[in-house]
Structure 1
Amino acid sequence: MTRVGWIMLALVLLVVAGFASTVRFGGPSATRFRMSRAAPAVEGVSPGMLTIPVRGVRPSQIADSWGDARGDGTREHHGTDIMAAAGTPVLAVMPGRVEKLFASRLGGTTLYLRSADRRWIYYYAHLSGYAPGVSEGQVVRAGEPLGYVGDTGNAGAGNYHLHFGVQRMLPTQHWWEGQDVNPYPLLAGRAAQR
């Protein structure tokens, strides 16, 4: 084969490979990587230790969605979605300090609450807004209003819920550097369902 022939073959293979990378095989439930259901073990943390972060929601109403496929199978869900009506107050799960107020593409209007001992970050996403007076650096008590349930970010219009995440931290780490932990047992007071 001539040099031009090899170049043409290489271009055709690149085009075919590019097309193949955009096609899903195995039907709509197939994922691009294997989802792990396991969350890191949480030493020294008791099930049900957190205040439920959405006013009026009981532990029995919370479902374990840790590890569910998101982003068309390209990533895992690292949190617990708590369904509630739009505008329902969202509450501090523990005493701590508002570490960061942030707007992101995926989470929309978000808030990061850091525990008083600086070893935990509690992540609140898809908020419709913050409670009056909430600001970075503010010290809060468990049960104090932080914001309101919404559908901002990638939640989808009308899919009102709080995405609640937990991260274990070193006291010196920044708000984005922690290790994800399944919040379900900490909220529901029982082991993860899956």
Structure 2
Amino acid sequence: MRDVRRPRGGVLRGALLFVLGVLVGANVVYFVLTRTPAATGIAPTPTPGTDAAAADGAAPASAVAPIETPPVPPSPASPAESPAVLPATTTDATGSLLIPVQGIAAAALHDTFNDARSEGRRHDAIDIMAPAGTPVLAVADGRIEKLFLSDRGGITLYQFNPARTRAYYYAHLQRYADGIAEGQALRRGQVLGYVGATGNADPSAPHLHFAVFALGPEARWWEGAALNPYPMLVPGRG
């Protein structure tokens, strides 16, 4: 029988090739498993529930403090279009009102409220004698309700108190002070006109006809119950 055994050198060569193949294969597997996404050029897919910044190693959007935008200041208010609100300081107490003619002392006033006038009328006011052109002053804070030219009163001005419960009436004016207008706010002591003799006043005896009226709910300048202004102008005469 013929001897067919393989030579010893062939067996060794085969074994070496097998070992070499195993080593090469292991290196290839290790290389593939350890390569980074940057090396492959393929970005990893973010895990659901995270954003791209978190996937790149940055803090998630929810962890970044929002930038607070400073609030935009409101536009500057335009100049008040309506008259300023005035405090209700006027009362009817004795001596509560300023004497409405500049330079006239309380001792110079006379109570003419009940004096008779033509056509059986009662005066319902006080006459304050003064030279023509003497400044007429607002007796209290308030607002000009009406500028009016009448046959009897001549150039007149109606002022309401802030509560609109009283009307102060100035008549026989020579003229209004510059800038006086209906709706204008007045301050106590502000010049509103000048003593005159317009209307049915005697030109030889210029004076201010001053009256006070209690206003009704409608606050109409041409209506109101006459109140005696004398005790309101002279302390201790109430």
TM-score band w.r.t. shorter chain: 0.7 to 0.9
Matched, 1:57 2:104: yes
Higher radius of gyration, 1 or 2? 2
| Distance in 1 of aligned mates of 2:196 and 2:217 | 30
Deviation at 1:74, TM superposition (A): 1.6
Q: Which has the higher contact order (CA 8 A, sep 6+)?
A: 1
Could you tell me which runs of 5 or more consecutive residues in structure 1 were left unpaired when the two chains were aligned: 1-43
In proportion to residue count, which structure has more strand? 1
4+ runs of 1 displaced by more than 4 Å? Answer: none
The residue aligned with 1:151 is 197
**Does the CA contact (< 8 Å) of 1:126 and 1:149 recur in 2?**
yes
| Distance in 1 of aligned mates of 2:217 and 2:194 | 28
Matched, 1:177 2:177: no
**Does the CA contact (< 8 Å) of 1:118 and 1:170 recur in 2?**
no
In proportion to residue count, which structure has more helix? 2
| Distance in 1 of aligned mates of 2:189 and 2:161 | 14
Amino acid at match of 2:158: Y
Query: Given the superposition, is the C-alpha separation of residues 167 and 126 from structure 1 closer, same or farther in structure 2, using an over 3 Å criterion?
Result: same
Query: What pairs up with 1:76-91 in 2 under 5 angstroms?
Result: 76-91=122-137
**Normalized against structure 1, the TM-score is what?**
0.74
**Does the CA contact (< 8 Å) of 1:55 and 1:88 recur in 2?**
yes
Deviation at 1:173, TM superposition (A): 2.0
| Distance in 2 of aligned mates of 1:118 and 1:75 | 26
**Does the CA contact (< 8 Å) of 1:101 and 1:135 recur in 2?**
yes
Match for 1:128 among 174, 177, 182? 174
Query: What pairs up with 1:35-50 in 2 under 5 angstroms?
Result: 45-50=92-97
User: What is the aligned-residue RMSD (CA, Å)?
Assistant: 1.2
Could you tell me which runs of 5 or more consecutive residues in structure 2 were left unpaired when the two chains were aligned: 1-90
Bigger CA drift: 150-159 or 133-142? 150-159
Query: Given the superposition, is the C-alpha separation of residues 115 and 88 from structure 1 closer, same or farther in structure 2, using an over 3 Å criterion?
Result: same
Deviation at 1:171, TM superposition (A): 4.7
Match for 2:210 among 164, 184, 191? 164
The residue aligned with 2:154 is 108
Deviation at 1:176, TM superposition (A): 1.1
Deviation at 1:156, TM superposition (A): 1.4
Q: Deviations over 1:54-98 (max 9, x none)?
A: 000111111000111111x62110100000010000000010000
Match for 1:66 among 113, 117, 122? 113
Amino acid at match of 1:65: T
**Normalized against structure 2, the TM-score is what?**
0.60
Q: How many residues align?
A: 148
Paired residue secondary structure (1:185): helix
Paired residue secondary structure (2:232): helix
